């Protein structure tokens, strides 16, 4: 019996779409007047699927939810599609403050809630927002990859330091709580390992504006690191990573 896939099987495999939900570190337009870019703009170079980048600068899991962007994806996602969710850079702070910025999540995890100090609205935890979104997609037989946020410049000041943010573990928790069809990819640790190998000068060169947003070259490397992390894992996106991508960590 032939082990080769039939043309029909190959056609079916090519149909899924990869959707990206995140902040400016992933977003198409990036930030800082073109000096920086989001890694989501480069991930199509590493996968064999069509990519729809729905990441928006300045968003957190909370504000992305409140503005209806998770729902926008839900309206178009279909069975077999894959959604990558990556937040964290804008999720810190205190929502109970009178100057609540509408982005800070309630501290803690799970069903814990807070009240906004600005308008009294209910604020949920980081993992609650992501788990809820993930479940809505898996209910339509799509797959979800909850990805930990990219690190800031780990060589800032000339000394390597890679302390993971609390949102890394919360992203892992969100994926676990979402259940069947949801997976976790540690993008933070992949990029951190890459930066350690790159060293001080090469890493600092990737941050032309601040310690969070990378240059287009840095965004491409972050996309490469994400693809490599997926390639080393076992999730529905793994078979769609292009063969022989560069090894960056």
pTM for this model (two decimals): 0.93
CA–CA distance, 113 with 105 (Å, rounded to integer)? 9
Specify whether the CB–CB gap between 60 and 91 falls below 8 A.
yes
- Is residue 4 over pLDDT 60? no
Can you give the pLDDT at residue 10?
41
Tell me which residues are annotated as active site: 24, 210, 213
Model confidence pLDDT, tens digit, residues 195-207: 999 999 999 999 9
φ and ψ at residue 196, rounded to 5 degrees: -60, -40
Architecture of domain 7-240: 3-Layer(aba) Sandwich (3.40)
Task: Give the strands of the sheet with 82-86, arranged side by side.
Answer: 51-53, 18-22, 82-86, 143-147, 182-185
Q: Which of 2, 24, 28, 39 is nearest to 225 (CA)?
A: 39
Task: Name the one residue in this structure whose structure tokens are 């693809």.
Answer: 227
- Mean predicted lDDT score pLDDT of the chain: 94
At a CB cut-off of 8 Å and minimum separation 6, what does 103 contact? 58, 59, 60, 62, 63, 90, 91, 93
- Is residue 102 over pLDDT 70? yes
User: How buried is 107 (Cβ within 10 angstroms: 0-12 exposed, 13-18 middle, 19+ buried)?
Assistant: middle
- Is residue 5 over pLDDT 70? no
Classify strands 113-115 and 122-124 as parallel, antiparallel or unpaired. antiparallel
Q: Which of 46, 137, 126 is nearest to 84 (CA)?
A: 137
CA–CA distance, 123 with 130 (Å, rounded to integer)? 13
Specify whether the CB–CB gap between 76 and 142 falls below 8 A.
no
DSSP conformation class of 6 = P
- Is residue 73 over pLDDT 80? yes
The domain ranges of the chain are 7-240
Model confidence pLDDT, tens digit, residues 154-183: 999 999 999 999 999 999 999 999 999 999
């Amino acid at each position: 019996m032939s082990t080769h896939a039939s043309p029909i099987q190959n056609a079916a495999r090519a149909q899924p779409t990869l959707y990206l939900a995140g902040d400016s570190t992933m977003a198409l337009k990036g930030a800082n007047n073109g000096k920086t870019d989001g890694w989501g703009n480069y991930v199509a170079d590493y996968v064999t699927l069509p990519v729809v980048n729905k990441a928006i600068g300045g968003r957190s899991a909370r504000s992305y939810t409140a503005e209806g962007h998770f729902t926008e994806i839900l309206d178009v996602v279909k069975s077999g599609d894959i959604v990558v969710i990556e937040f964290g850079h804008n999720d810190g702070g205190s929502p109970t403050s009178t100057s609540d910025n509408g982005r800070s999540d309630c501290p803690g995890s799970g069903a814990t809630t807070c009240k906004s100090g600005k308008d009294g609205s209910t604020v949920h935890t980081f993992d609650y927002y992501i788990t809820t979104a993930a479940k809505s997609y898996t209910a339509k037989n799509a797959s979800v990859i909850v990805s930990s946020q990219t690190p800031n410049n780990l060589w800032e000041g000339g000394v390597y330091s890679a302390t993971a943010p609390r949102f890394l573990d919360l992203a892992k928790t969100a994926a676990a709580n979402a259940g069947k069809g949801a997976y976790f990819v540690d993008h933070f640790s992949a990029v951190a390992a890459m930066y350690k190998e790159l060293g001080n000068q090469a890493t600092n060169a990737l941050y032309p504006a601040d310690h969070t947003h990378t240059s287009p070259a840095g965004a491409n490397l972050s996309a490469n690191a994400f693809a490599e992390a997926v390639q080393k894992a076992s999730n529905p996106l793994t078979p769609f990573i292009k063969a022989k991508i560069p090894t960056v960590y």
